[in-house]
Structure 1
Amino acid sequence: MDDIQSLYDIKQLAELMDDRKNGETPYLLILGAGASFSSGCSSGWKIVEDVLDKYHLLDSYRTQEPEELSDSAKLELFWDFLKARSQTARYTALRRHIEGEEPSIGYICLAELIQAGYFNIILTTNFDIFLERALQSIGMIYPRDFAVLVNGYQIEEHVLKSLNFPKPRVKVLKLHGDLYARIFQFRPNEIFEFTDKIQQTIEKLLEDDAIIVGHSMQDTDLNRCFHIEGGEIWYVNPNEPTADSAAGNLREIRETFMTLNGIAGYFDQFFIRLHYYLLRESQRIREQRAHFYYQSGRELYELSNSSSNPEDYLHWAIQDFRVAADLGFTEADVYYQIGQSYDKHPNSREYNEQAIEAYSWCLELNPNFKGVHRNRGRRYMEQELYDEAIKDFQLELSLNPGDSDARDWLLQARERKMLEYIYEQGRITNRDYRKLFEVSRSIATKELSLLVEANKLVRKGTGRGTYYILPEEGE
C-alpha cells in the first residue's frame, strides 16, 4: 500500500509547494545519485566493478586467491586506485559512467519547476551536469539565471558569498565535485569532512523544510549537517528507510519526516507527477509526459495482480491512462487499458458505462483492435442491451474467427434475447429465430438444438409445425 499512499502524498506535497509561492521560502532540494540513473549514469557499485575490471585490478587476486574477494575488499582496491590518480586521471576513468546520455524527462520537469520558482537552492552530491543541461534546455542562461557552485573547486569565500547573494535566484551547490571541473571527492576520507564554514552554511540551509530525492544518505559529511532542530523532510526513495540507516535515524529525530517510496520514489516518477500537478499547462514536454503516464498506468495495472487491494492500484492506473489521453497520447491501447482496468475492478459492474465509453474511444482510433468488441459486448450484456452485444460479438468474430470466448458470448446474447422473445410471444420457430438474428436455417437449427439439449427449450410439433417453448417447472 506504500505505492498508493505515496501517490496521494505527492498531490499533498504539490499543494504545500504551491502555497509557498506567496512569499514563503521554497523547499530546499537535495539530489543524490539515484537522480541520474534514468539519464544513463551508472550506479556506484557498477562504477566500482567496471573500474576493477577495466584496469585489471583483480587479475593478481584471481591467480592467488581461489575465492572471490569480499565487497569491502573490492571497495578498498577501488579507493586505493583513485587515491593514486590525479584529478585528470580520475576524470578519464569515471567519465563514461558519469557523463550519461541526455537529461531524462524527470530532469526536464525539475528544470521547469525550478524556473517557475518552486526551488531556489539545490544541493547535489552528483558529479554529472544533467541538471545544468536541463536548465539550459528550457532557456535558463548560466550564470544569469542560475549559479553552479562546486565545493572544493571554487574558493570557499566565493561559494559562501554566492549562496547569500540574492542574484541569481537559483543556486546549485555541488558538494562532492563536478565532471567538467574534474573535481571528484569520491574516496571515504574525501567526503567525511566539509570545511567549518561550508558545514555551518549547509547546517543552516538544512534547518528549512527539505525534499531529498535519489539520495540514500550514505554521505557522512552531509548527514552530519542534519540536526534535531529543523523543518519537515520529504524523503523520496523507492525503498522505505530502515531503522538503522541514516534516513531512518533522521526520521526518528525530525518531528515531520514524510516518505514517498515505491513507484513514486523514483526520480522521474516523482518529478513528472509533481510537474503535472503544479505546471500541467506546460506544452514543452507534453508528448514525453503522455508516454510516461501511459507506461506508469501499465505498471500499476500489473501491480494490481499481486495486491490484496487491487482496486487502489486500478484506480491509479485508470487515472494515469486518462492523464496520458488528456496529454495527447493517441494510441488506441490507452483506452483499451482503461477498459481492461474497469473490467478487472472488484466492483466491475459499477463501471459499465465508463468501460463502454473507453472501449468505444479505442474503436474510434482503431476499429480493428482485437478483443475490444468482445469486451464491450460483455459490458452491453451487463446492461441487457442484447442487440448491441450481439453486434459486437459478431464484429469480433469477423476480426478474429478463432475467438472462442466471443463465440460463447454471442450464443449467450442470442439466448437471452430469444428468451425475451418467448416471454412476449409464448413460443419461437426456426423462422422466427432466423429473422430475429439474421442467420441461416442451418445456424438457427444448430443453435436451437443446442438449447434443447441443454434443457433450456422444449421442442414441440413436427415438420413445418415445429416450435419451441420454455420448459415447464419440474420438466
Structure 2
Amino acid sequence: MPRRDSTESSIPEIAKLLDIRKQGGSGIVLVLGARAGAFYRLSSTFQEMIMGFSERSLQGLSRSAAFDECYRVLNEHSFSERDLDSIFQAALRDVTVTDADLCLADLVKEEYFSEIITTNIDDLLEQAFNQAGVREGQHYEVFIPGRSYEQRLQHPERRLCRVIKVFGDLVARVYDARRQRSYLDRQARLKEHLQQVLESDILVIGLDPVWDAELIDLIPLDGGQSSTWFVDEDAPPAESRLARVFNARQALYLTGWDGHYDNFLKALFWHLKSSMPTNIRNFFDILSELRKINSEYKISQRERRETQEMLQTTLMQLSSLQQQTEQCFQLVTSELSMLREQLGSLQRLLLRED
C-alpha cells in the first residue's frame, strides 16, 4: 500500500497545500473521523461503560481495535435511545477542549477550510469555536441531518465554513450513534451533497474503518486531479474499503506520532502561522502573570518574615530594658526610703537641741 514515511517532513507539504488553496479562494474539505472525536480520546472510560454489556474482553487489543469492538457491542445490544443518551452523556461529562481543538478553530477562522465533514456527535468542535471567538453565522454554519436548515445545504446564504455533522448532534438529541447501513440512504439530499464534496481536495483526519464505514462508502474512488491526504495514527487495514479508496485516489499518508490528531494539528498550525493560537497565547500570558504574582507573594512573605523577626528582636530588647528599668526603679526607691529615714532622724535631733 503506497504511503509516506510518518515523519514531520510531510506536514509542511500539507501546510503549503492549504496556503495555496486559501490564496486561490477555494479552501479544502476537512473530514474528521471518529478517532478525532471525544469518544476516542476518552477511550478507556468509554470502553468500560460499553463493554460492561459484553462478555468479550478487550485485553490484548490495540486502542483502535478496542474502540472498534465498542462499536460492535453498541450495534449488537438492544439499547434504547434513553440508554444510549445516558451512556454518551456520562462518557462525555469530563471531556474538555484541547490545544489541538483551538488550533483547528483558529484555522477555520482564517478560512483555510471551505467545509468540515465530521462523523462525531459531540460538541467539542463548537466549544473550541466559542473559545477561539469563531462565531456561528459569522464564520461558520452547522448542518445536522433532520433539521429544517438542512434545506440550505445546497445553497448557503453566505460564504461561511459549512460544518456537516453527518450522524447528528448529541446536544440537540438528534443523532444516530450506531450508524446502521441504511442511515445515509434515508438522507438523500445529504448523501448527494457528500458524494459531490468528497470528489474535491480532502484532508482526512482520524477516519475509522468501522465507526465511519458509511461515510467511507461515499468517498469516490476516482478523485480526478484532486489531492487526498490521510492522517491517522495507523494506516488503514490493507483489505479495507478505506485502503482501496485511498489507493485508488493515490492519497498521501501521514501516520504514526505525527498522524495523531493532537500532534498533527498543533504542528500544522505552527507551520502555517509560526505561532500559537491566540487563546493558547492568552493562557500562557495569564500563566506568566500568575507566576509573577506568586513570585511577588513569596518575596512579600519573605519580607514579612524579616519584619516579624525584627519586631520580635525589638520586643525582646524592650522587655529587657523594662526589666532593667524596673530593677533600677526598685533600687532608687530603696535609696530614697533610706534617705527619708535619715532625714527624719536628723529632724528629730534638731528638735531636741532646740
Match of 2:75 among 75, 79, 85: 79
How is 1:265-344 mapped onto 2 (pairs within 5 angstroms)? 265-282=259-276, 284-285=278-279
Q: Paired residue for 1:187?
A: 178
Residues 210-246 of structure 1 deviation map (CA, whole Å, 9 limit, x = unaligned): 0110112332321221112222210000112232122
Separation in 1, partners of 2:48, 2:74: 9
Structure 1 equivalent of residue 199 of structure 2:
207
Other-structure match for 1:93: 87
C-alpha change, 1:24 and 1:90, in structure 2 (3 Å) is same
| Aligned: 1:174 with 2:165 | yes
For each residue in 1:332-363, what CA deviation from the matched residue of structure 2 results, as whole angstroms up to 9, or x when unmatched? xxxxxxxxxxxxxxxxxxxxxxxxxxxxxxxx
Report if the CA contact (8 A) 2:6-2:257 is conserved.
no
Secondary structure of the corresponding residue to residue 184 of structure 2: coil
Identical aligned pairs, as a percentage? 22
Aligned to 1:154: 147
Aligned residues of 1:102 and 1:130 also touching (Cα < 8 A):
yes
Say if 1:7 and 1:145 are closer, same or farther in 2 by CA, change over 3 A: same
Give the SS at the match of 1:102.
coil
Where does residue 100 of structure 2 map in the other structure? 106
C-alpha contact 1:143 1:168 (8 A) present in aligned 2: no
Q: CA deviation at 1:7?
A: 0.6
CA distance in structure 1 between the partners assigned to 2:113 and 2:74 by the alignment = 36
Whether the 8 Å CA contact 2:5–2:254 is kept in 1: the answer is: no
**Counterpart secondary structure, 2:92:** helix
Question: Which residue number in structure 2 is paired with residue 402 of structure 1?
Answer: none
- Displacement after TM superposition at 1:283 (Å): 5.7
How far apart in 2 are the matches of 1:196 and 1:238? 32
Matched, 1:220 2:213: yes
Alpha-carbon deviation of 1:5? 5.0
SS in 2 for 1:189: coil
Is the Cα contact below 8 Å between 2:143 and 2:165 reproduced in 1?
Answer: yes
Please tell me the residue identity of whatever aligns with 1:134. Answer: A
Helix, strand or coil for the counterpart of 1:234? strand
Say whether 1:50 aligns with 2:49.
yes
Give the residue type in structure 1 aligned to 2:46: I
Whole-Å separation in 2 of the counterparts to 1:187 and 1:284:
37
1:139 to 119, 130, 133: 133
Change (3 A) 1:204 1:91: same
Q: How many equivalent residue pairs?
A: 269
Cα separation, partners in 2 of 1:176 and 1:73, compared to 1, 3 Å: closer
Alignment gaps of 5+ in structure 2? 57-65, 289-354
What SS does the aligned partner of 2:236 have?
Answer: coil
**Cα distance per residue 1:300-333 (max 9 Å; x no partner):** xxxxxxxxxxxxxxxxxxxxxxxxxxxx9xxxxx
CA distance in 1, matches of 2:48, 2:242: 26
Query: Does the aligned pair in 1 maintain the 2:103–2:277 contact within 8 Å?
Result: no
Task: String of CA shifts for 1:46-66, please: whole Å, max 9, x gaps.
Answer: 63541342xxx45xx79xxxx
- When the two chains are superposed, the root-mean-square deviation of aligned CA atoms in Å is 3.1
How big is the shift at 1:6? 3.1
Q: Which residue of 1 aligns with 2:244?
A: 249
What's the CA shift for 1:260?
A: 0.6
Distance 1:91-1:116 versus aligned 2 partners, 3 A rule: same
TM-score of the two chains, using structure 2 as the length reference: 0.67
Gaps of 5+ in 1: 63-70, 291-327, 329-475
Is the Cα–Cα contact under 8 Å of residues 33 and 118 in structure 2 kept in the other structure? Answer: yes
Flag the 1:107–1:52 CA change in 2: closer, same or farther, 3 A.
same
Match of 1:198 in 2: 190
- Computing the radius of gyration from Cα coordinates, the structure with the larger value is 2
Q: What is the SS of the residue equivalent to 1:164?
A: coil
Aligned CA distance change for structure 1 residues 52 and 161 (closer, same or farther; 3 Å): same
Q: Take 1:257 and 1:89, find their aligned partners in 2: how far apart are those partners?
A: 39
What residue identity is the alignment partner of 1:251? F
Counterpart-to-counterpart distance in 2, 1:154 and 1:108: 27
**1:165 shift after superposition:** 1.1
* 2:23 alignment partner, SS class: coil
Structure 2 CA distance for partners of 1:191 and 1:99, relative to 1, 3 Å: farther
- The letter of the residue matching 2:34 is A
User: Is residue 34–residue 120 contact of structure 2 (8 Å, CA) maintained in 1?
Assistant: yes
Instruction: Confirm or deny: 8 A CA contact 2:29 2:203 kept in the other structure.
Output: yes
Amino acid in structure 2 at the alignment position of 1:42: L
AA aligned opposite 1:220:
A
Which position in structure 1 is the counterpart of 2:10? 9
Deviation by residue 1:175-231 (Cα, 9 ceiling, x = unmatched): 112110113312252665332222111000001010110112332321221112222
Q: Which amino acid aligns with 1:29?
A: L
Give TM-score scaled by structure 1 length: 0.51
Q: Offset at 1:271? A: 0.7
Q: Secondary structure at the match of 2:22?
A: coil
Q: Which amino acid aligns with 2:92?
A: I
Cα deviations by residue, 1:272-291 (Å, 9 ceiling, x for unpaired): 1111111124562555999x
Instruction: State the one-letter code of the partner of 1:131.
Output: L
2:29 maps to 1:28: yes
> What's the counterpart of residue 121 of structure 1?
115
